[in-house]
A and B are shown apart, each in its own frame.
Chain A
Amino acid sequence: MNDLIRRYGVTITALMCLLVAFWLVMLVVVPNITLFEQSFRPYLPVVDVGGPKDFYSLRNYAKVFDGSIERSFFGIPYMIPVHVMTFGLTIWYSIVVTVACFALAYPLAFFMAKIANPKSLPTLLLLLFIPLWVSEVLRAFAWWIILAFKGPLNALLLAIGAIDEPVRWIVGYDGVVIGLTYAYVLFMLFPIYNAISSLDTNQIEAADDLGAPWWKIHLRVVLPYAKPGIASGCVMVFMLSAGSLLVPSILGSTTSQWFTQTIDQWFKDALDWNTASAYAFILLLLCTVFVSIALKVFNVKLSDIAK
């Protein structure tokens, strides 16, 4: 702070601080607090707002347990509240997306960091970045076209004889998982790439020289070293996936429902902002808890990720 004042003078420093403060308070803190406060109040006709019926309760949060449906697990039927099921499926398929992103990003990151010719690296990075210049909506629609029943992917697979009849890709959560993986794979790639490129190549050679096969080198030398990068990639992909509304809306099928879509319906269809806020905070809170537990299980410190 003193350094800033010495360098830019009091006026500019004050201006900078005010702008940052405005951004933080007005655009981040206030809206969140407003929603948080709303989430504990019932959805009432305007005349009743502030009246005797307007009091704080956890009723909005409890609504996730309403409306049970019957499901079966290996033939054993059980009842589950529909929103809880949606939430569970959202978490589960976000994990699937995270794992898929890791499986795609790790080999590519290793290739970029240790095998690719440094001269061709800028080209490679550019190729990875170009799709990001197109808006997420358009990219999701592009996938919708690619995955369509009579779309180019089926046409290609039929042409090369890989399949005999067209496959319905956008069924269940398949389209959502594919779309989310595509949308967020780079968020996995770059932290891992950063981690691996700082690994001393001599360590890989040393392990090789000591007789380790390639998978052992990865398991014992590269992966442990890249763990913080992998963890931060996983956290990002998981949180982004679980919080994504656009991709599940476009690439979802009739049988897929993402928890964010449920929140969206409370906001826009039911116009019940109070319950929607409650659901949004449930998602935020439980995802944070889930990620914290996952970090604990894999023995990663938050400070490692921040690096």
Chain B
Amino acid sequence: MSAKIDLENVSCDFGSFRAVDNANVSIEPGEFFSFLGPSGCGKTTILRMISGFIDPTEGAIKIGGKDMRGQRPNQRPTALIFQNLALFPLMPVWENISFGLEVRGVDKATRRKKAEELLELVDLKGAADKMVSQLSGGQKQRVAIARALAVEPSVMLLDEPLSALDLKLRQHMRAELRAIQKRTGVTFIYITHDQGEALAMSDRIGVMSQGRIQQIANPRDIYNAPINGFVAGFVGENNIFEGKSGAVAAGMAGFDTAYGTLRARINDDAKGSALRLYVRPEHTLLSAAKAEENSIPVTVSEVSFEGAFISILCHSDDGKLIVAELRNDGSATVPDIGTKLHASFDAARAALLPDANVRG
């Protein structure tokens, strides 16, 4: 039912503009894989190449080991869910869902039965005879999913389908999508610019920038061990320090900055290139006493209450902004504005990373 998808050295040019540059991914059967990146990074182009609306300029896309070049969208075992869903407004819900079966010549009674089954699968029982315009945003979403599932695709392609929903519904639909994927076992390829969505739903994420896949890893590794500055910056917040890396020992390196020599993790292949130090706000600690290492004297300039956490904006003596986050669990004391403190971080939580991987 589900199939493996391989992108082998896939590039796509629009005129002189290279939208996708040498993408290599192997997506396992039954996997929930997300392409994450800012708009214009090439993720939608990848999706349209997999679904068959455009052919790659170079390289091959294989579904279940079979090269898909020249296969029309209606010949591929994929089903695409459009960003705006593209439900047919003049058909009732059940005809929308069974459209794929209708064009395959399935008789009406079977189609109707299948549509009812799928409506049950997406928790929308009894909506078969409604018109699309009578449904809410979340319900339309479910109909779109059911319509795509009806043709029993090996691969479901989702192009930011949740972006039009409000926050609560979006969070609910995340869990729902994940559950439907687990129930059906179909390979899901999900396109999003929302890091929260990608982190919460995916088995693996491919982070993209300027047509290049920067990193492919599971959500934890993407967040905890980003491969470069772009990934670190796109997925989460950072305090970033400029400087020069020094001696490397056991995966750690010294980093000469305006605030003395800081220590952080370093990847073997990152040595020598222009690096910056990245540390997450939630790993940045504030204390009255100077810490043993990686300690920078700061003054609290603003306290921003965010609900689940409290964001403390500090400035170093030379005016650099350093942000620390405290969990709002009642244990932390919130410093007053103007307090002089020391910001510090564990060397194992900080990383020296190169900038994004872009074409030279």
Contact = CB atoms under 8 A, between A and B. Distances in A.
Interface of A: 200, 202-203, 205-213, 216, 220-221, 224-225
A206 B80 contact: yes
Contacts of A206: 80, 82, 86-88
A212 B79 CA distance: 12
13 contacts: A200-B84, A203-B86, A203-B88, A205-B80, A205-B82, A208-B72, A209-B73, A209-B79, A210-B103, A212-B99, A212-B103, A213-B103, A220-B99
B99 to A, nearest CB: 6
B103 A211 contact: yes
A216 B84 contact: no
A95 B167 CA distance: 55
Nearest to A203: B86
A202 B85 CA distance: 8
A297 to B, nearest CB: 18
A209 B104 contact: no
B73 A208 contact: yes
B88 A216 contact: no
Contacts of A220: 88, 91, 99, 102
B74 A208 contact: yes
Contacts of B79: 209-210
Given A205-B73, A206-B88, A210-B103, 18 more contacts: A200-B84, A200-B86, A203-B88, A205-B53, A206-B86, A207-B88, A207-B103, A209-B51, A210-B79, A210-B147, A210-B148, A210-B151, A211-B74, A211-B104, A211-B151, A212-B99, A220-B91, A224-B90
Contacts of B74: 208-213
Nearest to A206: B86
Contacts of B148: 210
B56 to A, nearest CB: 18
B243 interface: no
B99 A209 contact: no
A209 B90 contact: no
A224 B78 CA distance: 26
Given A210-B147, A212-B74, A205 B86 contact: yes
A148 B73 CA distance: 49
Interface in B49-79: 51-53, 72-74, 78-79
A202 B82 CA distance: 7
A271 to B, nearest CB: 54
A225 B87 CA distance: 13
Contacts of B103: 207, 210-213, 216
A211 B151 CA distance: 9
Contacts, number: 60
Interface residues of B, number: 26
Contacts of B88: 203, 206-207, 220-221
Nearest to B81: A206
B100 interface: yes
Nearest to B150: A210
A220 B95 CA distance: 11
B51 to A, nearest CB: 6
Which of B52, B72, B87, B90 has the largest count of A CB atoms less than 10 A from its CB?
Answer: B90
A224 B52 CA distance: 26
Interface string B90-110: 110000000110111000000
A160 to B, nearest CB: 35
A207 B72 CA distance: 12
Nearest to A214: B74
A211 B84 CA distance: 19
Contacts of A210: 74, 79, 99-100, 103, 147-148, 151
A118 to B, nearest CB: 16
A216 B73 CA distance: 15
A209 B72 CA distance: 8
B90 A225 contact: yes
Contacts of A213: 74, 103
A208 to B, nearest CB: 5
A274 to B, nearest CB: 49
B78 A209 contact: yes
Contacts of A203: 86, 88
Which of B51, B52, B74, B89 has the largest count of A CB atoms less than 10 A from its CB?
Answer: B74
Interface string B33-58: 00000000000000000011100000
Nearest to B148: A210
A220 B100 CA distance: 12
Contacts of B72: 208
B100 A202 contact: no
A216 B79 CA distance: 18
A143 to B, nearest CB: 39
Given A209-B73, A210-B79, A202 B151 contact: no
Contacts of A225: 89-90
Contacts of B151: 210-211
A217 to B, nearest CB: 9
A51 to B, nearest CB: 62
Report the 3 A-B pairs with minimum CB-CB distance, sorted nearest first.
Answer: A202-B86, A210-B100, A206-B86
Contacts of B100: 210-212
Contacts of A209: 51-53, 73-74, 78-80
B296 to A, nearest CB: 51
B99 A202 contact: no
A145 B228 CA distance: 75
Which of A205, A206, A207, A213 has the largest count of B CB atoms less than 10 A from its CB?
Answer: A206
A38 B338 CA distance: 98
Nearest to B75: A211
Nearest to A201: B86
A206 B91 CA distance: 14
Contacts of B91: 220
A231 to B, nearest CB: 14
A203 B132 CA distance: 13
Nearest to A202: B86
Contacts of A216: 103
A273 B52 CA distance: 67
A202 B73 contact: no
